Amino acid sequence: MTKEFEIIEHEIVYSGFFRMEKFRLKHTLFAGGWSNEISREVFSRGCGVAVILYDPHTDQVVLIEQIRAGALIRPHRAWLVEIVAGGVEPGETTAEVAHRETLEETGCKLEALHFINEFYTTPGGVSERISLFCGKVDSTQIEGIHGLDHEDEDILVHCVPFDKAYQMVESNEIESAIPIIAVQWLALNKQKIKDKWLD
């Protein structure tokens, strides 16, 4: 079966810190023929990178905490526990972003980087595609408050045992999708990462 779509009209309806685009399109149907014309708005974020920071020597995971505009609908939970993440700027590789964001958000340098996967966060209405990594760090040197002043970032760093991070997922203390995916991946692959990084 050939899958096709046709964009009838595309416009940018808002451009600010983020961008909103509107598409009118039609597409082929699984049963054959073409769909009716449909209209969809897309929240355009571009590509991003996320890194779960792990110390294989101490079995510690580095988490960050900051206020998130998307979580303001639940004021008592507006500060989310997450992992290092940031957008890909023109000319940057995903690995370069991983190194840059780790330094900006935690104050530490990556010692090694393992690519995990790429995925859309919520493709029903958002274009964002994430490259997820696991990064090796020395957790004994990580603490404090970080972030860039010109981006008004206020990021608190937490170093926790892996078992604690996993418990935070199970208890819904971590409720953002990307760190949930990352912690669950590490639960399945921790021994493989230790074997790789502790040689």
Residues with catalytic annotation? 151
Q: Taking the alpha carbons of 42, 44, 47, 49 in that order, is the dihedral positive or negative? A: negative
Please, are residues 39 and 11 in contact by the beta-carbon 8 Å criterion? no
Structure tokens at 137: 């760090």
State the burial class of residue 36 (Cβ atoms within 10 Å of its Cβ: 0-12, 13-18, 19+).
exposed
DSSP three-state, residue 97? helix
Distance CA 28, CA 30 (A): 7
Please, are residues 131 and 94 in contact by the beta-carbon 8 Å criterion? yes
Distance CA 30, CA 152 (A): 47
